[in-house]
Amino acid sequence: MNKAVFKPVVALVGRANVGKSTLFNRLTRSRAALVADFSGLTRDRHYGEGRAGDRPFIVVDTGGFEPVAKDGILLEMARQTKQAIAESDVVIFLVDARAGVNAHDHEIARLLRRSGQRVYLAVNKAEGMRHGGATAEFHELGLGEPYAISASHGDGVIDLIELALSYLDEPAADADSATAAEFEIDEGTHLVHEHDAAHEQAGAAAAPQAVDHRIKLAIVGRPNVGKSTLINTLLGEERVIAFDLPGTTRDAIEIEFEHDGVAYTLIDTAGLRRRGKVFEAVEKFSVIKTLQAIEACNVVLLMLDARAEISDQDAHIAGFVLETGRALVVAINKWDGTDREQRERIQRDFERKLRFLSFARMHTISALKGQGVKALLKSVNAAHAAAFAKLSTPRLTRTLHAAVEQQPPPRKGIFRPKMRYAHQGGQNPPLIVIHGNALDAVSDSYRRYLEARFRETFDLAGTPLRIEFKSSH
Ligand code: GDP
Ligand code: GDP
């Protein structure tokens, strides 16, 4: 089928103080590197990557349900719980063994039961409690067998997560009743793609990936920047083959189109559905879908709104793109009808908040009027070419030697780094491995100098570039 299989998403829900963030930290091994921290999007929601054995998953901490107003808490709980259900493949519902069942637990349980979502009931803070004693009273929540865990001590945590993930290995009951209903699928063009194993290795930057001739493109950005509008403009005159896929957030919708003889696969971030002739987003914005689409694509198109300030959320998405090493093109949309003041303001804002994206090409466009879209796609093509560029060892080594000759690396103490040769260690992003001696002593600024030289020589605009040093002694 025409889908990308994403890492499964496990959501942690529960009222305040049951231990969600403690469990989150344990599952993500307190990695300082959160996948993303989108505070202010809804409430504080944290997204992190965890691993059970060698199996990666994404964990979402939905944040507490602090009362906004006295009667606001129930509404807030309902909203958060529903969001967690919508965004996840399985839910872990935490309750507190020491505090016992309370009314809020019952309310959350009610929502979860009605959702039909797979739920595991975790009775937390159960360390040192008598076997069975901790969990007995939680049967009344009607969510099946409660599991005793201790998020802070680690007891039972791995077993629970493995259980939750193993459920996802079972084939979904409705997997074959794919809903072509909402789509007009051209007869005879039902392309069947084998699952692309490269997706699963998205994190393994060091291993060169098979070059796919299609450009996998993800269009990301905040709600209302114009993503759907751009997609409709792109797809407007083109023959479109689109598939809706059933099931969970692990399945992405991919839309294939061609433009000027180049084949693209658009990876959906917004739950696009076809309504009549146009696509529209059914869910306005999903962080998880955005992160997953970025992981599954080769090139990210980050859209910003010329008429709005660049927000923390924009910067978070941009930061995540950089971290994954995907190629990137930036589009500042709604350029039509902007005045000079707006144009200057957004450019200043970009300089200030997104300067770290200087490797990417930036375009001003109007998705609505189709202005600038052709040039934008040219940059997408160029970024893709750069991301998958083949860098020959002799040419890399010549470039390295020329750079060193022009400006030798500074000494560090008694050590002078010596660079012998360079070869390519990966693609998307290109990884250049430099071999030599005493390379630990290479400074960040020298690394940036080398990066600039490689970029210039190999025309690597639009992609992050990684440099790794390997010293033989
Ligand atoms: P959240 O509001 O659901 O995110 O809860 P926190 O993770 O902030 O935890 C609330 C309190 O419970 C903190 O004081 C934690 O140290 C404590 N806590 C969390 N997990 C455990 C546990 O397994 N055992 C015990 N005894 N305390 C825990
Ligand atoms: P999404 O949430 O990112 O998919 O944003 P939409 O495509 O739904 O667009 C949000 C709003 O911005 C809609 O009212 C669009 O008509 C409008 N819009 C999108 N692109 C442009 C543009 O280039 N210029 C102007 N003026 N409005 C636009």
Look at ligand 2, atom 20, and give the residue with the nearest C-alpha: 226
Question: Residue 31 Cα, ligand 2 centroid: separation in angstroms?
Answer: 37
Mean pLDDT of 194-209: 35
With a 6 Å cutoff on the Cβ, whether 306 touches ligand 2 is no
Question: Residue 15 Cα, ligand 1 centroid: separation in angstroms?
Answer: 11
Answer yes or no: is 30 a known binding residue: no
Question: Residue 330 Cα, ligand 2 centroid: separation in angstroms?
Answer: 16
Looking from the CA of 272 toward its CB, the CA atoms found within 13 Å total 29
Answer yes or no: is 268 a known binding residue: yes
With a 6 Å cutoff on the Cβ, whether 21 touches ligand 1 is yes
Encoded tokens for 422: 């360079």
Tens digits of residue pLDDT in 90-126: 999 999 999 999 888 998 898 888 888 889 999 999 9
- E-state strands within 261-326: 262-267, 272-275, 278-281, 299-305
Cβ atoms < 10 Å from Cβ of 201: 12
Which of 76-80, 175-179, 206-210, 273-277 has the lowest average pLDDT? 175-179
pLDDT class for 83, splitting at 50, 70, 90?
confident
Q: Inform me whether the pLDDT recorded for 65 exceeds 70.
A: no
The string of DSSP letters for 310-365 reads: PPHHHHHHHHHHHHHT-EEEEEEE--TT--HHHHHHHHHHHHHH-GGGTTSEEEE-
**What is the model's pLDDT at position 320?**
85
**What is the model's pLDDT at position 85?**
76
Task: Give the atom of ligand 2 at the shortest distance from the alpha carbon of 223.
Answer: 2
Question: Of 28, 152, 155, 157, which is best to mutate to test ligand 1, by the most ligand atoms within 8 angstroms of its C-beta?
Answer: 152
**What is the model's pLDDT at position 5?**
59
Question: Residue 239 Cα, ligand 2 centroid: separation in angstroms?
Answer: 23
Query: Model pTM?
Result: 0.65
Percent of the chain with pLDDT over 70: 75
Question: Residue 54 Cα, ligand 1 centroid: separation in angstroms?
Answer: 27
Tens digits of residue pLDDT in 87-96: 788 999 999 9
Question: Of 15, 17, 65, 104, which is best to mutate to test ligand 1, by the most ligand atoms within 8 angstroms of its C-beta?
Answer: 17
Q: Inform me whether the pLDDT recorded for 224 exceeds 60.
A: yes
Tens digits of residue pLDDT in 354-409: 988 989 999 999 999 999 999 999 999 999 999 999 999 999 999 999 999 999 99
d(CA 50, CA 59): 7
Question: Residue 22 Cα, ligand 1 centroid: separation in angstroms?
Answer: 6
Answer yes or no: is 221 a known binding residue: yes
Mean pLDDT of 422-428: 94
Encoded tokens for 197: 């194993």
Q: Inform me whether the pLDDT recorded for 454 exceeds 80.
A: yes
User: What mean pLDDT, rounded, does the chain reach?
Assistant: 78
d(CA 10, CA 141): 20
Q: In what order do the strands lie in the sheet with 55-61?
A: 36-37, 46-52, 55-61, 9-13, 90-96, 119-124, 146-148
Q: Inform me whether the pLDDT recorded for 28 exceeds 90.
A: no
Task: Give the atom of ligand 2 at the shortest distance from the alpha carbon of 270.
Answer: 4
With a 6 Å cutoff on the Cβ, whether 25 touches ligand 1 is no
- φ, ψ for residue 161 (rounded to 5)? -70, -35
Look at ligand 2, atom 17, and give the residue with the nearest C-alpha: 226
| Helix, strand, or coil (residue 366) | strand
With a 6 Å cutoff on the Cβ, whether 124 touches ligand 1 is yes
Question: Of 219, 222, 224, which is best to mutate to test ligand 2, by the most ligand atoms within 8 angstroms of its C-beta?
Answer: 224
Question: Residue 312 Cα, ligand 1 centroid: separation in angstroms?
Answer: 28
Counting ligands in written order, which one lies closest to the CA of residue 124? 1
Mean pLDDT of 3-28: 83
pLDDT class for 234, splitting at 50, 70, 90?
confident
Return the bridge partners of 435, or none.
Answer: 421, 470
